[in-house]
Chains A and B, each alone.
Chain A
Amino acid sequence: MSAINVYPQRPETDARAESPLHHADLPSLVGKGRKNPGVTLREKKFLGHLTLRGNAHDPAFVSGVQQALGLELPVALTVVASGETSLQWMGPDEWLLIVPGGEELAAEQKLREALDGQHIQVVNVSGGQTLLELSGPRVREVLMKSTSYDVHPNNFPVGKAVGTVFAKSQLVIRRTGEDTWELLIRRSFSDYWWLWLQDACAEHGLSIAS
């Protein structure tokens, strides 16, 4: 047996899958609601999420990650992306890698290969979290209602990502565009966030995108 158990957790066949917000039946809400919504929400579901831990002070780690992913290890509070793949700083020894759905096993294997012999951790967490994309002119206000973190563009440029308190729980806020943000949420809290966002967006108009 090896030191680490690497296990494909996604079925190869077309098994039925339900995203964390499956129960909200978002597809049925697409196109409903106000004409010029202040906020548009989209669940970016079934992506591959991997937690990576390692020593950022070790040049071998830095270059190994670069070699495996083609992405430079991001510095504090930033996210780097290339195509559908993004790598986000979560803590001084922790990063979140998001890859297109189905590529998580390959990504883990590539990382383990490139970082062989180093003390690292790679964990598939794809089932435990999802991304909610919020876009529109009023997203910033909705964020201001929800978090004490400063989301003003001076403090929160595109490409920044922070873990913080949001309403009465915690999540990660990522700014991916001028008016586009992502919330990284835990599966078990997804209903709370869905209810919270509907309520907080009510005065601005909320629409759902597929």
Chain B
Amino acid sequence: MLHIFCPHCGELRSEEEFHAAGQAHIPRPLDPSACTDEQWGDYLFFRDNPRGLHHELWIHAAGCRQYFNATRDTVTYEILETYPIGARPQARAQENVPQLAVTGQGEKV
């Protein structure tokens, strides 16, 4: 069971208090209607599956009910950092820089 530092509570808590909510830093296109079906499909369904560092979105469901991001090593399960929505990760995965696949896409860090 992972031990996750909630950046809002300021404490390490057991994984059972959290829910994982998928890959982080996937901004909703600012104008979805301008997306082709393929672009929209990429946004909706396509996610990274790296061996190594991964930026993930989590919610502290049983605690402060806040979403935050975590950088986790998918090999060792080490969590290198957790940081609030809107902050940028310190540890960056290789080739895992948020891709601007969709034109007119908003900035979401």
Kindly report which residue of chain A lies nearest to residue B3, judged by CB atoms. A148
Write out, one digit per residue, whether chain B residues 21-62 have a CB within 8 A of any chain A CB (1) or not (0). 000000000000000000000000000000000000000011
**Is B64 among interface residues, defined by CB-CB distance under 8 A?**
yes
Smallest CB separation, B68 vs chain A (Å): 10
Q: Report the tally of A-B residue pairs with Cβ distances under 8 A.
A: 40
Contact call A76/B8, Cβ cutoff below 8 A: yes
Q: Is the CB of A164 within 8 A of B64?
A: no
Is A170 an interface residue, CB under 8 A from the partner? Answer: yes
List A residues 38-63 near B (Cβ within 8 Å): none
Q: Mark B9-29, 1 if CB is under 8 A from A, else 0.
A: 111011011000000000000
The reply on B65 being an interface residue by CB < 8 A is yes
Query: Contact: A91 with B62, CB < 8 Å?
Result: no
B105 within 8 A of A: no
Which label, helix, strand, loop or mixed, suits the secondary structure of the A interface?
Answer: strand
Check A165–B14 contact: CB distance below 8 A: yes
- Docked-complex contact B14 and A77, CB < 8 angstroms: no
A92 touches B66 (CB 8 A): yes
Q: Scan residues 128-153 of chain A and give those whose CB is less than 8 A from a CB of chain B.
A: 148-149
Q: Is A94 an interface residue (CB 8 A)?
A: yes
Any A CB within 8 A of the CB of B106: no
Q: Is B86 an interface residue (CB 8 A)?
A: no
A residues 145-168 near B (Cβ < 8 Å) are 148-149, 162-165
Question: Is B98 on the interface with A (CB-CB < 8 A)?
Answer: no
User: A92 touching B62 by the CB < 8 A rule?
Assistant: no
Shortest CB distance A151–B (Å):
13
B10/A76 in contact, CB under 8 A: yes
Given contacts A76-B8, A77-B10, contact A165 B16 (CB under 8 A): yes
Chain B residues with CB under 8 A of A111: none
Partner of B65, one of A91, A148, A164: A91
Residues of A with C-beta under 8 A to B17: 148, 164-165
Knowing A163-B63, A163-B64, A164-B63, the reply to whether A92 touches B16 (Cβ < 8 A) is no
- By a beta-carbon cutoff of 8 Å, the part of chain B in contact with chain A is 1, 8-11, 13-14, 16-17, 61-66
What 10 A-B pairs are tightest by C-beta distance, nearest first?
A: A91-B64, A148-B14, A170-B62, A163-B63, A92-B8, A165-B62, A165-B16, A76-B10, A165-B17, A91-B65
